[in-house]
Structure 1
Amino acid sequence: MTSILTNQGAIAALATLRSINDEMSTTQNRISSGAKVESASDNAAYWSIATTMRSDNKSLSTVSDALGLGAATTDVAYTALNSSISVVDTIKTKLTAASQPGVDKDKVQKEIKKLQDQLVSIAKSASFSGQNWVYHTANSAAGTSSIVGSFNRDNSGNVSLTKLDFNTANSSLIEVNSAGNYATSGSALLSTDMTYKNAQGSTATISGVSVLTLNITNMDSTALSNALKGVDAVLQKMTNAAADVGALNKGIDLQKSFVSDLMDSIKKGVGKLVDADMNEESTRLKALQTQQQLGIQALSIANSDSQNILRLFQ
């Protein structure tokens, strides 16, 4: 039936053209933004997941920065320990030389004193961002230092942080008490009274003598021998401390690499959920443009039907 009041062909053609235009608008938005899910209205579930994972990735980026700071701190501590080991090794050499008959102990002691001053200088300067793992005072005592290692989210959506802990008492070289004097007891390797293994295999302490306060001027051969054993024992402890810090530093590097890879994986996962396939979208746009042209032509033909009715009355 042909009617001048209701043009059914035009209505159908217009509805089709509107649908094509809506699809074209969606496709053009995807092409311009590069995302097929840009807002919650596009796909609420995928948008929610992507938003959460992007937020987690920002937290992981902060973790990566924290690991970089931790790596720098451990690098400084390891460098100080390694340098101090070289200096203490030289002191050990001086003690060996002083044990020889006829050696001027006063001159050797002057050399040892310079080496002791160098040890203090190394320990004091081994600070990074306000943290010093080898030099401690009454106001900054040795203790557990924590480095943020990872950001975690469990299956229930609960978040937590993984931390890498290190007890700086294990790497402490010098400790200064509240009176400003070297602490003669405790964990500090250079300021604490030296110990050694005696002939019976028991641990003996050289009271009032540490690597930093060692003075060989008036020492006899027995005292020199004990001091040599004490310095060697300290040297072994320093080597163990440096190994511990080096192991922590390696662990931080591995964790930093893991966090970086994890961030990349999350980015890829989010991309698979919300990124637009540009090849697919460009192909769809071409097809919609063709459909739009055909729709316009169909609407034009449908609109011309009303004009054709006039000819029936001529």
Structure 2
Amino acid sequence: MGSSINTNIAAMTALQSLNATNKQLLTTQNRVSTGLRVADASDNAAYWSIATTMRGDRSSISTVADALGLGSATAEIAAKGIETAIKIAGEIKDKLMVARTPGVDRTKIQKEISELQDSLKAVVEGATFNGQNWLQSNSADAADENRTIVSSFSRASDGSISIGTITVDLEAMRLVDTDTGASAGGILDSDIALATGTGTVTVLDLDISALEDNAEDLADLVKMIEGVDSAINKMTDAASSLGAVKTRIDIQKDFAQSLMDAIDTGVGQLVDADMNAESTRLQALQVRQQLGISALGIANQSAQMIMRLFQ
């Protein structure tokens, strides 16, 4: 085939090859710089769609883990509150046992009991985290019957989602009832009926300073001891229930973290670039680019050789 000054087939071929190399080089450079072989839908629509959905699910699970973290912290504060309340109530019971002995100064003992009662109230009021107090609630308010903690997020094969929850029974661990109605009462502010039928007291307001060594007053004192002991038993049961709830929350929290790690691994397998392979490919393409430039230069020189025929 003869030479033509209008059409340089060799240069056109070399240019096409160089353009193809530059395009591949750009793709490889993008993968190396971003670490992704599927950065957008144009790279691989199916993988990109799956990865985008999985990233959205991971974000939701991360939110669930945060909610579980708050729930775990609230349960921990409530558990510490109940443990402390049990200890203080035990000290009140001990003081009442001492007061049962005839001839003791019950006025002085009551001063100690009053301090312990104030401590109980402070513990219950202070067992608050993030505005939530599981030990002090209103029995007349349906919203205070329980607390619901988001515990899981899952997606079915048809794309539908489901959200799991953990329900905390506040009624079982209510130490103080903020309701002022006649039927109100938590574990510590429930009525303790006195033996003489003269009225009722609670763990938080019982007073022995006026009691004497007669049979009626001593019988009332025994009822107070029994009432405090009953409150301690109920708080122990509440602490056990709360401990079970906290254990379940912590299990779900660990599971949520495992799910997030699994999703990260799955997404990575779909869209992450193999940096070893890409770096090797980058070196090869850079060599091809240099060779393509050289080949294009040689092809362009062939047209200049025609000029020598006219010299």
Please state which band the TM-score falls in when normalised by the shorter chain.
0.7 to 0.9
Mean CA deviation greater in 211-220 or 19-28: 211-220
TM-score, with normalisation over the residues of structure 2?
0.87
Instruction: Kindly provide the CA deviation profile for residues 42-84 of structure 1, in whole angstroms up to 9, marking residues without a partner as x.
Output: 1111111122222222222222222222122112211211111
1:185–1:192 contact (8 Å) kept in structure 2 = no
| Residue of structure 1 in register with 2:204 after alignment | 212
2:137–2:170 contact (8 Å) kept in structure 1 = no
Aligned match for 2:299, one of 299, 302, 306: 302
Q: Quick one: distance in 1 between partners of 2:30 and 2:119?
A: 67
**RMSD in angstroms over aligned alpha carbons?**
2.7
Letter in 1 for 2:202: S
Indicate yes or no: 2:68 matched with 1:67: yes
Letter in 2 for 1:177: D
Indicate yes or no: 2:280 matched with 1:283: yes
Instruction: Return the offset for 1:129.
Output: 2.0
Q: Quick one: distance in 1 between partners of 2:103 and 2:198?
A: 25
SS of the residue 2:202 aligns to? coil
Q: Quick one: distance in 2 between partners of 1:172 and 1:313?
A: 108
Q: Quick one: distance in 2 between partners of 1:250 and 1:50?
A: 33
Instruction: Return the offset for 1:313.
Output: 6.8
Q: Quick one: distance in 2 between partners of 1:187 and 1:139?
A: 10
Q: 1:121-270, aligned counterparts within 5 Å?
A: 121-137=122-138, 142-178=144-180, 185=183, 188-194=186-192, 208-216=200-208, 217-218=210-211, 220-270=217-267
Counting aligned pairs with the same residue, the percent is 47
2:193–2:201 contact (8 Å) kept in structure 1 = no
2:76–2:246 contact (8 Å) kept in structure 1 = yes
Aligned length: 303
Please, which runs of 5 or more residues in structure 2 have no aligned partner?
Answer: none
Q: Quick one: distance in 2 between partners of 1:206 and 1:6?
A: 119
Instruction: Kindly provide the CA deviation profile for residues 247-297 of structure 1, in whole angstroms up to 9, marking residues without a partner as x.
Output: 222222222222222222212221121111111111101111111222222
Q: Quick one: distance in 2 between partners of 1:133 and 1:84?
A: 13
Instruction: Kindly provide the CA deviation profile for residues 102-129 of structure 1, in whole angstroms up to 9, marking residues without a partner as x.
Output: 2233332332222222212221222222
Q: Quick one: distance in 2 between partners of 1:195 and 1:24?
A: 88
Instruction: Return the offset for 1:139.
Output: 7.9
TM-score, with normalisation over the residues of structure 1?
0.86
Instruction: Return the offset for 1:39.
Output: 1.0
Distance change (3 Å), C-alpha of 1:19 and 1:102 = same
Q: Quick one: distance in 2 between partners of 1:102 and 1:194?
A: 25
Mean CA deviation greater in 150-159 or 77-86: 150-159
SS of the residue 2:291 aligns to? helix
Letter in 1 for 2:179: N
SS of the residue 1:220 aligns to? helix
